[in-house]
Each structure stands twice: as C-alpha cells, then as structure tokens.
C-alpha cells in the first residue's frame, strides 16, 4: 500500500457513506488516472431500480463518460468492497490496469474470496489486484449498516405481528 492508495480509498469510503445515507449498501468507488479522479460512484441499485448499479459500474460509467472512451487501461479502480463477478467483468471490459479494494467479500467476492477471476489465465485481460486497503473501515461500515437494517426489520416484523 502507498499513500495514494489510502488517500483514494478514503474518497471511496466517503462515497460509501453517501450510499448509506441514500439507504443503499455502503460501497463506494473511484477511477483514477495519474493521480486524478476521473470517475466516482456508489451503490445505488435500489434507488436506480437497476441491478447493475454497483459502485464499481457507476464509477466506470462516470469515468468513461468523462474521458469519452470506455477503455480505461491506464487507470486504477479503488472500491471499498471486493468486487462481485459482474463488476469484475465490467472492470475487465474497461481494461482497468489496476484494482485496489478494501474489505474482502466472503459471500460474492470474485477476486479471491469466493472465486478469483483476475487470476483466470484463460481470460483476455489481466490486471494488478491489491486487497485489504483500509479494510477495517469498509467492513465496519457494512457491519453497522446491516446491523441497523436487521434491527429495523425485526422491529417492523414485531409491530406487524401484534
């Protein structure tokens, strides 16, 4: 990890907080080229009514629009949670050169936790992957978010059952 990694991951964590404020799972992402943020995104599948509106996809869309090209080979994507298979596919198609993620995702992580798509030699794109950058912060946000959600669901269920 270098200082740039932690700095850009902190920006992604700020975006994750925005997702949480919107009632979405708190995941944030930024696309960076030569120290400049080209794209930002946070999870918004609920508000967008779009199952593909994960933080990574939103950041890739934003960056591609800003530079006028979907190919982002000389860029780094920072995301607070290990990407799922769908997001790794989008990252491959964007030709991202480097992926940096925070917390591991033991349920749907596609960079080593459940499957390891970047290590798949049969694929036509490869990238450098660095994980566990500010992982505690990202994992902590997720843990608190789901604890609150469970508490609200339990209370709602108790209120409805009377």
Distance CA 96, CA 76 (A): 6
Catalytic residues: 56
Residue 1 has a pLDDT of 56
Tokens of 1: 């990890």
Q: What's 3-160's CATH class?
A: alpha beta
The answer on pLDDT for 161 being more than 60 is no
Q: What's this model's pTM, rounded to 2 decimal places?
A: 0.89
pLDDT tens digit string along 66-117?
Answer: 999 999 999 999 999 999 999 999 999 999 999 999 999 999 999 999 999 9
Q: What's the mean pLDDT in 127-143?
A: 86
The three-point CA angle 37-90-140 to 5° equals: 65
Distance CA 147, CA 101 (A): 23
Q: What's the mean pLDDT in 61-68?
A: 98
Intra-chain end-to-end CA distance of the chain, in Å: 53
Identify the H or E element spanning 30: strand 28-33
């Amino acid at each position: 990890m270098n200082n740039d990694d932690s700095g850009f991951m902190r920006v992604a964590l700020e975006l994750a907080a925005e997702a949480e404020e919107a009632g979405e799972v708190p995941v944030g992402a930024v696309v960076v080229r030569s120290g400049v943020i080209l794209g930002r995104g946070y999870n918004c599948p609920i508000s967008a009514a779009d199952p593909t509106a994960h933080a990574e996809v939103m950041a890739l869309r934003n960056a591609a629009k800003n530079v006028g090209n979907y190919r982002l080979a000389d860029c780094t994507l920072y995301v607070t949670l290990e990407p799922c298979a769908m997001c790794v596919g989008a990252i491959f198609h964007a030709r991202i050169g480097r992926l940096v993620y925070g917390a591991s995702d033991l349920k749907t992580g596609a960079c080593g936790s459940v499957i390891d798509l970047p290590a798949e030699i049969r694929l036509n794109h490869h990238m450098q992957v660095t994980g566990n950058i500010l992982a505690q912060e990202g994992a902590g946000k997720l843990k608190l978010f789901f604890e609150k959600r469970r508490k609200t669901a339990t209370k709602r269920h108790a209120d409805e059952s009377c």
